[in-house]
Amino acid sequence: MVFNLNSSNVATRENRIGSITGYIGTLSDLAEQSGCGTLKGCSRCFSQSSTCLSSCALGQLSAIRDVAIIHHGPAGCSVASAGAYYLDKVMAKKRGVTNNTVYVGTDMNEKDTIFGSTDALRRIILEVNKRYSPKAIFVTSSCATGIIGEDIDSVVDDVRDEIDVPIVAVHCEGFKSRIWATGFDISDHAVLSSIVQPPK
């Protein structure tokens, strides 16, 4: 499988590997169709109590030590990773390591969703870098930023010369995929494209 590390976007699991969220049929049909690559999922008209792919991406990124995660979205979206963030701190303490990862939400409001808030995002990135001196910065998107077409890539590119650590846009809008595990792919892609260096 080829990875395009020059793009900040990742194909969803539905499009990339044919993942499904539901199946109607017999077990023998399921085995036969999955073996020959023709498996198709049934379309669900309603789903609840599932997690959000954004939460998966944010939770996974928060486990990386000494980085900053800036979630560009409303406060309700930003709070989604509070549990994962706390758990990462507890687990780091149990392992005897220090995790100085910071998690900042941009707290978009109604005005921001109408007029955009890339200027505020830029200021927040620079302030987070100055205040916390992280080893890397991940700027994540939310459903709100995806719906209004907020260009976080341009903001990240614009501030890259002013920051001496890796910074990357992470496109983890919750509505992007019905397969919440796509969030893990998105966060892994961000790490590969910004932190992991090619072998020498």
Beta-carbon neighbour count of residue 188 at 10 Å?
16
More confident residue, 109 or 47: 109
CA pair distance 133, 174, nearest whole angstrom: 29
Residue 173 scores a pLDDT above 80: yes
Mean pLDDT of 134-143: 93
Q: What percent of the chain has pLDDT over 90?
A: 30
Distances (CA, A) of 164 to 47, 139, 200: 43, 15, 22
CA pair distance 171, 166, nearest whole angstrom: 16
Mean pLDDT of 156-167: 94
Domains along the chain with CATH numbers:
13-48 (no CATH), 50-194 (3.40.50.1980)
Residue 1 scores a pLDDT above 60: no
In this predicted model, what pLDDT tens digit does every residue of 77-132 receive, in sequence order? 777 777 777 777 788 888 888 888 899 999 999 998 889 899 999 999 999 999 99
More confident residue, 25 or 153: 153
More confident residue, 41 or 100: 100
More confident residue, 197 or 43: 197
Beta carbons within 8 Å of 140's beta carbon, 6+ residues apart: 54, 57, 58, 61, 69, 70, 71, 72, 73, 170, 172
pTM: 0.80
For 177-190, the DSSP string reads -S-TTHHHHHHHHH
